[in-house]
Structure 1
């Protein structure tokens, strides 16, 4: 059925819950896990050296957080004997696009991700990465709600 499952992660508890579901699924299906961490590009536009220093500090911190989050997915896979095929860190202005691009580039046939399950006006105002992935992804998407 599914052979390669994409798990987007941000290192949150909700992402860890989605990882647990994805790993259990992968184990039962003899599938592989691919994880992705999407870094928003540097949010501050400045002038001069201060901007360059700020950018470098931001990217260093973001890449460290990405490494920790991806390592969490890798460890969850290893604990259950599931193949951790790849851990990608990418930069995108639009997070959901980065998730979908990774799914397509890695040949993933399922995306498993967390969602806060916002409803009504909150969902309309805040939007949702999960909702946008559901709307635009070509692969099936399994949403793990908090």
Structure 2
């Protein structure tokens, strides 16, 4: 039933747990894992000409390297478990859109992702990529807390 599993990762502790579950899930279903990590571009826009701005190129290089490292960790875990794997790194200010688009592009049957479990005002103000994915896909989504 599930042959292509999309596994978004951000390298967090919960994402590592989700990876372990996704690998077991893939083994049971004889599926492959497509893992995506979204590198968010430099978010700062100076409000004036005299604003001190960190080096955007350095920021984006570090973010891209971190995203690639996150994908490499999933790839290593999949290789160890004998699970077919494909990794994707994309740049975007809207991770949920990239996750939903990747699920469609790679013909995924399910999205398995971690939720950071924010509550109260943090949840309200910070939003949740997991909630946005749930709202914008018709695929089943398995959420790990």
Q: CA deviation at 1:80?
A: 1.0
Runs of 4+ in structure 1 over 6 Å off: none
1:25 aligns with 2:28: no
TM-score between the two structures when normalised by the length of structure 1: 0.88
Aligned length: 141
Aligned-residue Cα RMSD (Å) equals: 1.8
1:13 aligns with 2:24: no
**Equivalence for 1:70:** 71
**Equivalence for 2:59:** 58
Which structure shows the higher helix fraction? 1
Secondary structure of 1:26's counterpart equals helix
Q: CA deviation at 1:120?
A: 4.4
1:115 aligns with 2:115: yes
* Residue segments in structure 2 that go unaligned for 5+ positions in a row: none
**Equivalence for 1:128:** 128
> Structure 1 CA distance, aligned partners of 2:116 and 2:62?
25
* Residue segments in structure 1 that go unaligned for 5+ positions in a row: none
